[in-house]
Amino acid sequence: MGKTPFRHSFQVLPYVMVAPSVVVTLAIVFVPMLQAIWMSLHEYVLFRPKAIQWIGIQHFLKILEDEVFWISLQHTVVWISLTVPAQLLLGLLTALLLNQHFFWRPLARALVIIPWALPSVVISLMWVWIYDANFGILNEFLLRLKLISYSIPWLADPDTALYAIILTLTWQGFPFFAVMILAGLQAIPKTYYEAAAIDGASVIQQFFYITIPGIAGVIFTSVLLRIIWVANSLDVIFVMTGGGPGYATHTLPLYAFVEARTSLDYGYGSALAVTFSLLLTILVVLYLTRAQRSIDQ
Amino acid sequence: MNFHSKPLVLPFLFFLLAGSILFHAQAQTVRFWYHFDNADNPMTSLVEKFESENPGIQIEAENIPWNSYYDQLYTSIAAGDAPDAAMVKLNALPRLLEMEALVSLDNYFSNWAGKANVQENLFELTRAADGKHYYLPVQYVILYLYYRADLFAELGLQVPNTCEDFRTVAKALTRDTNGDGRPDTYGFGFRGGKGGHDHWASLTLSRNGVGFGKGQLTSAEGVKGTQFVLDLFQKDKVFPPSAPNDGFKEIIGAFQAGVTAMTIHHIGSSKGMVEALGNKVSAAPVPECGGGHWTAFGDESTAIFSSAEDKDAAWKWISFLSSDGNNAEFNKATGQLPVTKTDSAKWNLHEKRFVDATVASLPYAQLLPNASETADFTNSVWPISMQRALTGQIDARAMNREIDSLYNP
């Protein structure tokens, strides 16, 4: 038997199959990223094309002294740390309900998708009217229930505007958790619950010792994705308040967007975006490290 | 057709088809951007009329949403994909000149018979800082005060002539009409969101010595003007609680619904006002404050961009829009006022009382500074600082200082 000329034959086909998606990803993700990094290191104001020049880290130094950056960062932390857990909690409750048997369960499972399926602009406009100080149904309900004595301008009051939008985004995003967790719940064998019941475990104990470990992986992945998506989302805020009143609903991605698109200062806007990306990357790495350790335990 | 001519038919048809394709391929296309809020706009009929009068020129007219109009315009210029011509406002002129995006229209004006038919003062108002003309006026408005004539009559109130009168009537018009202990009508619908700087300006910039020059806004009179606005909201409570965020739709909707008894806007909204309120709505010039009078001159023009392939074709289109008859058609969609003398003379689209209020306001209608800072003022500095001041996060002096430092770093 003769020797084969190569120990391993080189397979070209897999690379050819993957190439189109790699090219597209490079073009629409990595090239703009590199472009943003380049702009962040330049004085780049769109209506002053002749004044574009390299300035190194000047924008990043300016960010450290920018009051609006710190306000926006604070709001971003509040935004993520309230929205994601609220969506998770509501999604978990919904999934547990949808995992029960009732005659209109198929309809319920379809209806729960609606907030997730609606375009963000439609949701934003709808909730602007819900929160309206003169005609909104939220104020009307609360007044009739005598929980408030006068209409609250939810979106015009800096103390309530951000939380009002957090509620909107919670409504929009909980179906994602509901669907993901429901899939996880249905993968848990019923025999586990039966065996636990025979051993005398209560419903609460079954939930904490069977259900939660069974869907831990789903929760881990879903929360990671939602942290990234919620952190980056600005469409709902932009339509509902534009970042106002004042800076009350400014988050970092919104601030970067406004600086770039409205003030046409793409250099500083890109620097804000790059800074935010670095901070988010640190958060994601910390989350991955911590959460993975918990799951492994 | 006899047997001998049949062989000629196919070649004839071929050349006819080829000629048609070639003709259309050679037809010059002018890309034009505009922003109409009214979906039933006559741009289609104007395009058809122009193309029938100018065979060889095709117009691609695109309605760009107003909220992102200038975002898209500036980025398209930077990307090398600008339209050939577009509707533009004066506050964009400095930036467009810095981008070297505009074509001077002076040579076109000097050879244009229609120039004599456009109101002269509009040419002066739209002249650039370098003395040249880059804009061709196409419509205009002047902001005035809308008021509920029926409520004024009910309470025996007079139309306010001064800021003090304005405050008095606004307080009288802020009432609890259904006995639930909460006001359900407010004296004035203030626009605290983006675009509301004209409201603040009428009550502040009118004051003697107050303007955008260095230190003028931070002077005692300047601070007094802004404080007057803040007091109306915070102390007198004559604005609805939603005022810091209210934009165009909110102030017009609130006025039409009877939530507010006065607001400031222009003739472009008068048709909707009359449809909602009939004779209950009327208009008057904005009040005089602190010894002076200030109201916004709402300009709109067209311009040709330097990247246009056929500037002469673009000129034919924009001059068509500002000529007798066509300018009237254009303004029927926008609800604003024509710039041509002939169309203005026979204009009957608006109720007389609104035209009268516009004309009466003309002597003191003013523009914001013709500087690149004005775009930042209108888009971000004013709305953010006004909202912060209204909600008590900063005081009047701090707000005025932010604006002053924008124009006078």
Answer whether B244 touches A (CB < 8 Å): yes
- Give the pair of three-digit tokens for residue A25: 């990803």
The confidence score (pLDDT) of residue B8 equals 64
Q: Are strands B28-34 and B144-148 parallel, antiparallel or unpaired?
A: unpaired
3-class secondary structure, A29: helix
Same domain, B270 and B309: no
Q: Which residue has the tokens 């209020």?
A: B357
Which residues of chain B lie closer than 8 angstroms to A245, CB-CB? 192, 244-245, 387-388, 390-391
Work out the mean pLDDT of chain A and round it to a whole number. Answer: 92
A132 to B242: CB separation less than 8 angstroms, yes or no: yes
Q: With cut-offs at 50, 70 and 90, classify the pLDDT of residue B177.
A: confident
Both B169 and B117 in a single domain?
no
Q: Which helix (H) or strand (E) holds B22?
A: helix B6-26
* CA end-to-end span of chain A: 52
B233 and B319 assigned to the same domain: no
Question: By three-state DSSP, how is residue B367 classified?
Answer: coil
* Within-domain flag for A134: yes
Contact A247 B384 (CB under 8 A): yes
Chain B residues whose CB is inside 8 A of the A134 CB are: 240, 242, 254, 257, 259
What's A97's domain CATH number? 1.10.3720.10
Looking at residue A289, what is its pLDDT?
87
| Domain at B190, CATH number | 3.40.190.10
Interstrand relation of B28-34 and B85-88 (parallel, antiparallel or unpaired): parallel
Would the CB atoms of B242 and A47 count as touching at under 8 Å? no
DSSP string, A221-273: HHHHHHHHHHHH--HHHHHHTTT-STTTT--HHHHHHIIIIIS-BHHHHHHHH
Of the pLDDT bands very low, low, confident and very high (cuts 50, 70, 90), residue A9 is low
**Co-location of B187 and B70 in the same domain:** no
Is there a domain that residue B10 lies in?
Answer: no
The pLDDT value given to residue B2: 47
In this prediction, residue A253 carries a pLDDT of: 97
The predicted-structure confidence for A30-39, as pLDDT tens digits, reads as follows: 999 999 999 9
What is the least distance, in Å, from the CA of B9 to any CA of chain A?
50
User: B396 and B283, same structural domain?
Assistant: yes
Residue A46 lies in a domain: no
Reported pTM: 0.85
For residue A195, being part of any structural domain is answered with yes
Give yes or no: residues B36 and B50 share one domain. yes
Q: Is residue A7 part of a domain?
A: no
Residue B254 in contact with residue B173, Cβ under 8 Å?
A: no
Cα-Cα-Cα-Cα torsion A219, A224, A228, A230, nearest 10 degrees, comes to 20
Residues B275 and B402 in one domain: yes
d(CA B311, CA B316): 9
CB contacts of B387 in chain A (<8 Å) are 244-246, 248
Say whether A133 and B241 touch across the interface (CB within 8 A).
yes
Query: For B104-130, how does the pLDDT look when each residue is reduced to its tens digit (9 = 90+)?
Result: 999 999 999 999 999 878 888 889 989
Q: Is residue A53 part of a domain?
A: no
- B260 and B403 in a common domain: yes
**A47–B95 C-beta distance less than 8 A:** yes
**Inter-chain residue contact B254 with A48, CB threshold 8 Å:** no
Q: What is the DSSP letter of A209?
A: I
Alpha carbon of A273: minimum distance to chain B alpha carbons (Å): 18
Does any domain span residue A119? Answer: yes
Q: Are residues B205 and B340 in the same domain?
A: no
Same domain, B117 and B81: yes
In this structure, the strands spanning B85-88 and B57-63 are unpaired
Using the Cβ of B71 and the Cβ atoms of chain A, whether some distance falls under 8 Å is answered with yes
3-state SS, residue B215 = coil
Residue B5: inside a domain, yes or no?
Answer: no
Containing structural domain, residue A115: 59-296
Number of domains, chain A: 1
Whether the CB-CB separation of B282 and B130 falls below 8 Å is answered with no
B376 domain residue, yes or no: yes
The 10s digit of each residue's pLDDT in B347-382 is 888 898 999 999 899 888 989 998 889 989 998 999
pLDDT digits (tens, 9 = 90+) for A129-176: 999 988 899 999 999 999 998 889 999 999 999 999 999 999 999 999
Q: Which of B75, B242, B255 to mutate to test the interface with A (most CBs of A within 10 A)?
A: B242
DSSP character string of A44-98? -BTT-GGG-EE-TTHHHHHHHT-HHHHHHHHHHHHHHHHHHHHHHHHHHHHHHHH
| Nearest chain A alpha carbon to B194 | A242
Q: A262 vs B383: CB contact, 8 Å cut-off?
A: no
- Number of independent structural domains in chain B: 2
Segment A64-111, tens digit of pLDDT = 999 999 999 999 999 999 999 999 999 999 999 999 999 999 999 999
Which own/partner pairs from B16-24 qualify as long-range (CB within 8 Å, at least 24 positions apart)? Answer: none
Residue A146 main-chain phi, psi, to 5 deg:
60, 30
- Is there a single domain that holds both residue B114 and residue B247? no
**Per-residue pLDDT tens over the stretch A219-268:** 999 999 999 999 999 999 999 999 999 999 999 999 999 999 888 899 99
> Which of B78, B98, B242 is the closest to A153 by Cβ?
B242
How many Cα atoms within 13 Å fall on the side-chain side of residue A266? 20
Whether residue B335 is predicted with pLDDT greater than 90 in this model: the reply is: no
Domain that includes residue B233, residue range: 144-296+366-407
CA atoms within 13 A on the CB side of B315: 18
Same-domain check for residues B256 and B380: yes
What is the rounded average pLDDT of the residues B148-175? 96
The whole-angstrom separation of Cα B268 and Cα B262 is: 16
Q: What is the mean pLDDT of residues B152-167?
A: 96
d(CA B230, CA B389): 7
B95, with CB counted inside 10 A (0-12, 13-18, 19+), is buried
